[in-house]
Amino acid sequence: MVYEKFVKDNSSDMKKKDDAKVDLMTCIIKTREDLITANNNFEFADGDLIDYYLYQIKATQSKYNYLLKKAKQSRSSC
């Protein structure tokens, strides 16, 4: 939902300015939504799915932290 709105509102203007930053921001938003979804799914998981969603949450959280770190580094290098 947030991802689609961001892309729709900003892709044409921002793509022209800086493709890398737009792609990074899009990826951060998508990863955040994936993390929220995994957490919501975990709430209703049972049996073996509990382990699956725990691994998915941990992996997605690692990816999200990496992307945020990368965005902070690119912001400070400007």
What are the 10-residue block averages of pLDDT along the chain, 78 residues in total?
A: 69 63 93 96 92 96 97 78
DSSP result, 15-57: HHH-HHHHHHHHHHHHHHHHHHHHHHHHHT--TTHHHHHHHHH
pTM: 0.73
pLDDT at 10: 67
User: Cα 33 from chain centroid?
Assistant: 6
Classify residue 51 as left (phi > 0), alpha (psi -120 to 50) or beta. alpha
Say what percent of the chain tops pLDDT 70.
81
pLDDT at 15: 56
- Collapsing DSSP to helix, strand or coil, 77 comes out as coil
